[in-house]
Amino acid sequence: MAESSRQQRASSGEVTRRLSRSLQVSLVFEGALVGVVGGLVVTLYRAALSGAERVLRSLTGAAAGSPLLALLWLAALALVLVIVSRLILWEPATSGSGIPQVDAEVAGRMDAPWARVLPAKFAEGTLLALSGLSLGREGPSIQLGGMSGKAVSRALRRGRGEERLLVTCGAAAGMSAAFHAPFTGVLFTLEEIHKEFTAPLIISVMCSAIVSDLIASQVLGLTPVLALAFGQDLPHASYFLVGLLGIACGLLGALHNRGMFICQDLFSRVRSHLPYARLAAPFALAWAAAFLWPSLMCGGDAIVEHVLSPEGLSTATILALLAGKYIFTTVCFGSGAPGGTLFPLVVMGALVGGAFARLVGEPVGLDAAFFPNFVALGVAGLFSGVVRAPVTAVVLVFELTGSFDALLSAALVSIAAYVTSSLTRTDAFYEHLLARLLGTTTDDPAVSGLGGEKSLHTVRVGTGSRLEGMLVRDVPWPDGVRVVTIERAGSQILPTGDTRLMALDELLVISDETAADDALLKLSFMSEQRVRGDS
């Protein structure tokens, strides 16, 4: 048996190479196809949000001087609240940002109905943008892209394993189209969602993100989503300020997460079948913000423009905007409203960087020309401190600024924020949300991605063995083992639960490295054990 196990290990490399040759080309085309579908969906979504925000500004501007029109707007918001609540009841998987749901899909712990999620999430996001809630488009865009990938998978009749890969491709397409940042989309999905880097995965995800960005650029133009700038590289003597900013962002990131989690707990006391009551608070704040502080509405990209404008904002105004944006976003998010927090997070990061430059940089002689640099570095630092994805944070700032000068300082601030936030023992944002969705803890391998190294092995189905004639779903697979492909008569089969195993099938299975030997022994026994009555 041990000799058989060694032979299977020796042959796994050749089978893996055959798998790579046979599937990598198809993965490129399938990733590109997901990029087309996801890119179109998210581009339309972005266009709908932009139109909704223009209508919002026009209506609230007209109502600002009229108490009667203000009351009519309140009545309109109440109607939107009812519609969005009904949509959430119709499809609960659309509640919240959508990123934890995509995480759960990729981990194999959720199977959302894509045909319901796509229209519901699209409509909910558009209506919430029309209402002015402080939510972003990135989370919904990632979920819309992920469900587009799932739709492509179902149309092509792919197995569950490849479907997860196409959902990952769709998530990258959504992030790419939302931020006009394809490599940010690639790294975010690999670092935060899939938590795995393999050549076939990277190739297909890159194809999806690039195609999606091409579509978004063609339809919406090449204008950056945020007008961040990085004028020139900081002198090395100022890098201690970058490290201090990273520490500050790490502490603020931990505070951000704890506040969000506490708000979620408070709203969870309202029973889940009463989304009307949960959404009342954010809609009330949206109505008040429309007439008292319009800058706080929606994602907040106008705030960044004001921070970077030549006349600038006072330090007190920057701090007030930061506090107001955080409180408004926290209430909107905690209520379970269908919208993201990434764009507000980026805006808050810009405010943190601007406030730091004023409060800490100026007293030690920081040149005013470097103020935009710290605004951009604040984005990287807070993103890393909240999400715990430092590589994505660096690439995001690079793509938003278009400057290679940003890389070194962005890497330093991201690492400092990541380490500081981790030392506070506060959960990473999306890991906590995924654990909450699954009813587990962040120690769950499906949440943390720490399920161990994976290894590939081959198992041949013996004639008359226990496995012969069994459906894949009926096989008592050892824990941590999945069948990836079946080679039968020289052709590759992507198995589903209804695939029936035949004699001489060569199964390519993936298992946790730590349990590989035990799993192989069990599989080898089943593949060689003859059913009772055979000799």
Structure confidence by residue, pLDDT tens digits, 193-239? 877 776 777 888 999 999 999 999 999 887 777 878 887 778 888 88
CATH of the domain at 460: 3.30.70.1450
Same domain, 169 and 199: yes
Same domain, 58 and 197: yes
| Contact assessment for residue 352 and residue 378, using Cβ atoms and an 8 Å cutoff | yes
Tokens of residue 491, six digits:
């052709």
The count of domains in the chain is: 3
The 10s digit of each residue's pLDDT in 362-378 is 888 888 888 889 999 99
Q: Write the DSSP symbol of residue 184.
A: H
Contacts of residues 260-264 at CB distance under 8 Å and 24 or more positions apart, as own/partner, are: 260/330, 260/333, 260/334, 260/341, 260/429, 261/427, 261/432, 263/330, 263/331, 263/333, 263/334, 264/333, 264/334, 264/436
Q: Kindly report the pTM of this predicted structure.
A: 0.80
DSSP letters, 489-515, are TTEEE---TTPBP-TT-EEEEEEEGGG
Same domain, 363 and 313: yes
Same domain, 514 and 414: no
Same domain, 156 and 53: yes
Residue 13 lies in a domain: no
> Of the residues 167, 191, 220, which one is the last residue of a structural domain?
220
The 10s digit of each residue's pLDDT in 493-521 is 778 778 888 888 888 777 665 555 666 77
The 10s digit of each residue's pLDDT in 397-446 is 988 888 787 888 999 999 999 999 999 988 888 888 888 888 776 555 55
Q: Give CA–CA dist 164/184, Å, rounded.
A: 20
**Domain assignment of residue 318, given as a range:** 236-438
Kind and range of the H or E element at 119? helix 114-131
Between CA 236 and CA 174, with CA 305 as vertex, the angle to 5 degrees is 90
Alpha-carbon dihedral sign for residues 333, 336, 342, 343: negative
Partners of 458 in the beta sheet?
508
Same domain, 260 and 205: no
Convert 6-16 to b/e letters by CB count within 10 Å (16 or more is b): eebbeebeebb
Residue 37 lies in a domain: yes
* Backbone torsion region of residue 135, taken as left when φ is above 0, otherwise alpha when ψ lies between -120 and 50, otherwise beta: beta
Residue 331 confidence (pLDDT) above 90: yes
Tokens of residue 480, six digits:
């941590």
- DSSP 3-state of 359: helix
Residue 535 lies in a domain: no
Which amino acid belongs to residue 500? Answer: R
Same domain, 180 and 257: no
Q: Give CA–CA dist 405/94, Å, rounded.
A: 39
Same domain, 66 and 141: yes
Our measurement of the distance from residue 173's CA atom to the centroid of its chain's CA atoms, rounded to an integer in Å, reads 11
Alpha-carbon dihedral sign for residues 443, 448, 452, 456: positive
